[in-house]
Chain A
Amino acid sequence: GESVGLHLPTLSVQEGDNSIINCAYSNSASDYFIWYKQESGKGPQFIIDIRSNMDKRQGQRVTVLLNKTVKHLSLQIAATQPGDSAVYFCAEMGSYGQNFVFGPGTRLSVLP
Chain B
Amino acid sequence: DAGVIQSPRHEVTEMGQEVTLRCKPISGHDYLFWYRQTMMRGLELLIYFNNNVPIDDSGMPEDRFSAKMPNASFSTLKIQPSEPRDSAVYFCASSLWRGSYNEQFFGPGTRLTVL
Say whether, besides A2-B37, A4-B37, A31-B100, A46 and B105 are in contact (CB < 8 Å): yes
Q: For residue B4, which residues in chain A have a CB less than 8 angstroms away from its CB?
A: 43
Q: Tell me which of A6, A43, A89, A105 has the highest count of chain B C-beta atoms within 10 A of its own C-beta.
A: A43
Residue contact A46 to B103, C-beta cutoff 8 Å = yes
- Report the Cα distance A48→B4, complex, angstroms: 19
Subset of 18 A-B contacts with CB under 8 Å: A2-B89, A2-B109, A4-B42, A5-B42, A32-B101, A43-B107, A43-B109, A44-B91, A44-B106, A45-B106, A46-B103, A46-B104, A49-B101, A51-B101, A97-B100, A98-B50, A98-B102, A103-B42
Q: For residue A105, which residues in chain B have a CB less than 8 angstroms away from its CB?
A: 42-43
Range for the number of chain B residues in contact with chain A:
20 to 34
Of chain B, the residue at the smallest CB distance from A101 is: B45
Taking Cβ atoms with an 8 Å cutoff, the residues of A that contact B are 2-7, 31-32, 34, 41-46, 49, 51, 89, 93-94, 96-105
B interface, by DSSP: helix, strand, loop or mixed?
Answer: strand
Q: For residue A102, which residues in chain B have a CB less than 8 angstroms away from its CB?
A: 42-43
Of chain A, the residue at the smallest CB distance from B44 is: A102
The count of A-to-B residue pairs whose CB atoms sit within 8 angstroms is 62
- Report the Cα distance A102→B38, complex, angstroms: 13
CB distance from B95 to the nearest CB of A (A): 8
Residue contact B93 to A43, C-beta cutoff 8 Å = yes
Residue contact B42 to A104, C-beta cutoff 8 Å = yes
Is B55 part of the binding interface, using a Cβ–Cβ cutoff of 8 Å? yes
Q: For residue B50, which residues in chain A have a CB less than 8 angstroms away from its CB?
A: 98
Q: For residue A31, which residues in chain B have a CB less than 8 angstroms away from its CB?
A: 100
CB distance from B108 to the nearest CB of A (A): 6
Residue contact B43 to A44, C-beta cutoff 8 Å = yes
Residue contact B91 to A3, C-beta cutoff 8 Å = no
Q: Tell me which of B37, B48, B55 has the highest count of chain A C-beta atoms within 10 A of its own C-beta.
A: B37
CB distance from B99 to the nearest CB of A (A): 10
- Report the Cα distance A48→B7, complex, angstroms: 28
Residue contact A4 to B102, C-beta cutoff 8 Å = no
